[in-house]
Amino acid sequence: MKRPVEGVKTLVALRKRRPDRFSRLLICNEVIKAIEEHIRETGRHLCEEAAFLAGYVTFGSVGVVTTAILPYTYSSAGSCTLPLDVTAGCFKATKETGQVILAQVHSHPGRSWHSTIDDDWAVCDCPGFFSIVVPCYGRFGLNRLFAGGAAIYELTDGREWRRLPLKEIRNRFQLIPSSYAVV
């Protein structure tokens, strides 16, 4: 096992296999800030945008998000498309670092909901994968994530997207300082 870096708190040990369902998802503050900035910048042009949350899977089925993936997209007022080579590059980059994509984040022009296109074209079809929909082109950012502003969906074993109620979001998602590290 690696020694912790001085001044950095040890958070968790790693596991190799993705669980069917995450009991919790811990997200570093800097990742949220980077994604907010990415989505807002495109939103200023009244276009949708997408990003990914990547990180590590721990013992106890906890996901730790340490990386924001901000891919190149073809964006418009009503859609956001990732070129196939860009999507493949995102997966390759995470694999090379031992990470996995834990969730996708994308914006909508109005309210936050999962459209049929969102249902059919998610970047991952593994049960337990999360899809976070940010309303109003990200104008309010993700700081409303725990106040019900954004919608979080989880892919079930039956391949259905289930919207998580606010109480469950507050129990399963937590922002953490980036001074924590996975070792």
Q: What is the pLDDT of residues 30-58, one digit of tens each?
A: 898 898 888 888 888 898 888 989 988 88
The secondary element (H helix, E strand) that includes residue 65 is strand 62-69
Q: Residue 148 has what pLDDT?
A: 65
CA atoms of 145 and 179, how far apart (whole Å)? 21
CA atoms of 167 and 79, how far apart (whole Å)? 30
CA atoms of 104 and 130, how far apart (whole Å)? 6
**Are 59 and 24 in contact, with CB atoms under 8 Å apart?**
no
Q: Residue 167 has what pLDDT?
A: 92
DSSP state at residue 137: G
Q: Residue 144 has what pLDDT?
A: 64
Q: Residue 125 has what pLDDT?
A: 78
Q: Domains of the chain by range and CATH?
A: 15-181 (3.40.140.10)
CA atoms of 173 and 22, how far apart (whole Å)? 10
0.85 surpassed by pTM: no
The residue written with tokens 């834990």 in the block is 102
Q: What is the pLDDT of residues 65-112, one digit of tens each?
A: 988 888 878 878 877 777 778 878 878 888 888 888 899 998 888 888
Q: Which residues have C-beta within 8 Å of that of residue 157, sequence separation ≥ 6?
A: 20, 127
